[in-house]
Structure 1
Amino acid sequence: MSEAKATKGAAADGADGGSTVGTPDGTPGSARPRRRQARGEARIAQLLRAAASVFCTSGYTASSTNAIAREAGVSPGTLYQFFPNKEAIAVELGDQLLNRWRDTYGAAFTQSHIELPLDRMLDAILDPLIAFNCENPAFSVLMHGSEIPGRITEEHDTLHATMLTRVESALAGYLPDVPADQVRRIADMTFMLFKAGLDLIMAHEGEERAAYIQELKTIMFRYLDPLVGDDAPHRAARRAPHTP
C-alpha cells in the first residue's frame, strides 16, 4: 500500500471510518456504527467525483485541493481528513477507473464477440470501450497527462500492453494464415487507429460524436476487411458497419 493511500485510510477512519473502538484493557471492542463508515465512504465518493470534474476542466497539473474541495462543496479541512494531497486523490481515482476499465475491456473481448463476423465484432468490442471513455472523461486526463503520478502511469502502461495482446489475439482468429509478426503489426495499427479515433470522438458531443464513432468503425472495417479475405473464418458481408 502506498504511503498516500495509507494516510488517506487512516484519516478516513479517524473521520467517519469503520475502525474498532478499544476497551480500557486495550483489547479491540465493538466496531463503530456502520452508519459512520457509510458516511465516510460517501464523502470519499463525493470528493472523487469532484476531483474528476476539476481534472477534466482544469487538467491535473493546474488543479488544486482547494478547487476540488470547492467543487465538492466542503471545506479544505474536510478534504484533508480523507486525502493528504492532490496526488493521493488522483491515485485513488485512477485506481477505481483502471479497475472499471479492466472490467469493461474484459467484457468486450469475450470469445463470443471475437467469433462474430468482422462488422458485428467491431460493434461488440468498440461500443463498450467508447462508451466507457465518454462516460469517464477523467480517465483520459489521468492516463495521458504529462505530470500524472508515476504509479498511475506504470499501471496504465501495463494495461496498454495487456489490451494490445487482447487485440492481437482477437485478430489472429480472423487472420489464420497470416504470419505472427504481421498479425502483431496489424494489431498495433488497429490499436493506434482506435486511440486516434477516440480522441476525435471525445472532442465532440451529440450527433457529431455519433458520426465520428461511425467513421471510426468504417475506417477500421475497411482496413481489416481486405486482410481477412473471402475464405477466412467469421467472414462478414462486404459492407462497412451499419451501411445499407
Structure 2
Amino acid sequence: MPDDTGPRRRQARGRARMEQILQAAAAVFGEVGYEAATTNAIAARAGISPGSLYQFFANKDEVGRALAETYAERLATLDVLAGFRADSLDGALRDALDRITAFNIDHPGFKALFARTDMPASMREAVAPAHAAIEERIRGAVAAVLPHADQGRVHTTATVILSMVKGLLPVIVAEADDDRRRALADELHRGVLAYLTAVRREVDQD
C-alpha cells in the first residue's frame, strides 16, 4: 500500500498557506481598499515573501477572486436569506439584515469586494462569479416574497434592494457607537421593508 503521508501533508500545508494569504488579504482590503492593496502588502501581512504568495496566486485579482468565492460560500452556509415568505417578511428581513451586518463586521474585507457601486473593471471581473451567486440567492428570496411577480419584476426588485444594502451597509459597519449602529440598521430595514411592501402591493393588484 503506497505511503501518501508526504503528499497529504504537503496538501494540508498548501491549504493552510492559502488560508493564511486570504486572511491577510481580507485585512489589507478592509484597511486600504482593493485598489490600494498590493500583493507585497498582502504577503507582508501574511508573514511570507511575495514569491511564496505567487506560488498560489498569480496576482491581486486572483487573490480577490478566491476571497470573494470564500465569502460567497460562507454566506451560503449561513443561509442568511432563509425563511423569506410573504407572511413573515418583517421578521425575516430584520434577521437577514442583522446577519449580513454581523458577517461584514466579522469579515473586514467583504465590503471592499461586495459593498461598492463603483468597482473598477479588474475588480468586477475578479469577483463576478461570487457576485452572481449572491445575486441569485437574493432573487430567490425576492421571488418567495413576490410569488405572483414575473421574472423581470423580481430581477429589478432584487437589484434595487441590493443597491440599497450596498449603499448603507458600509456606513452601518463603520459606526463604532452601538446605539447609532442599531438606529442606522433600523432605517435600512424600514427602507427595504417599505419598498418590498409597495412592490408586493403593486404586483398583487395587477
- Normalization by structure 2: what TM-score? 0.75
Name the structure, 1 or 2, with higher relative contact order (CA <8 Å, separation 6+).
2
- The one-character-per-residue Cα deviations of 1:140-177 (angstroms, maximum 9, x if unpaired) are 2124431534543431452354144224313215xx6x
Contact kept, 8 Å, 2:172 with 2:184, in 1: the verdict is yes
Residue of 22, 30, 55 corresponding to 2:3 = 30
Between structures 1 and 2, the one with greater helix share: 2
Secondary structure of residue in 2 paired with 1:117: helix
- Normalization by structure 1: what TM-score? 0.65
Q: Structure 1 pair 35/194, CA: closer, same or farther in 2 (3 Å)? A: same
Q: Structure 1 pair 81/165, CA: closer, same or farther in 2 (3 Å)? A: closer
Give me the identity figure in percent.
32
Is it true that 1:77 corresponds to 2:69 in the alignment? no
Is it true that 1:162 corresponds to 2:136 in the alignment? yes
- Any stretches of 5+ residues in structure 1 without a counterpart? 1-28, 233-244
Cα distance in 1 for partners of 2:159, 2:58 equals 40
- The one-character-per-residue Cα deviations of 1:48-85 (angstroms, maximum 9, x if unpaired) are 11111112222222222221121112222332333333
- The one-character-per-residue Cα deviations of 1:81-133 (angstroms, maximum 9, x if unpaired) are 333332332222222122223334xx2333x4425533212223222222222
Contact kept, 8 Å, 2:61 with 2:126, in 1: the verdict is no
Give the equivalent residue in structure 1 for 2:168: 197
- Any stretches of 5+ residues in structure 2 without a counterpart? none
Contact kept, 8 Å, 1:50 with 1:69, in 2: the verdict is yes
CA-atom RMSD in angstroms: 3.2
Contact kept, 8 Å, 1:142 with 1:148, in 2: the verdict is no
Counting only pairs closer than 5 Å after superposition, residues 1-244 of structure 1 correspond to structure 2 as 30-33=3-6, 34-104=8-78, 107-110=79-82, 112-114=83-85, 116-143=87-114, 144=116, 145-149=119-123, 151-159=125-133, 161-173=135-147, 186-207=157-178, 208-225=180-197
Corresponding pairs, count: 197
What residue identity is the alignment partner of 2:136?
Answer: T
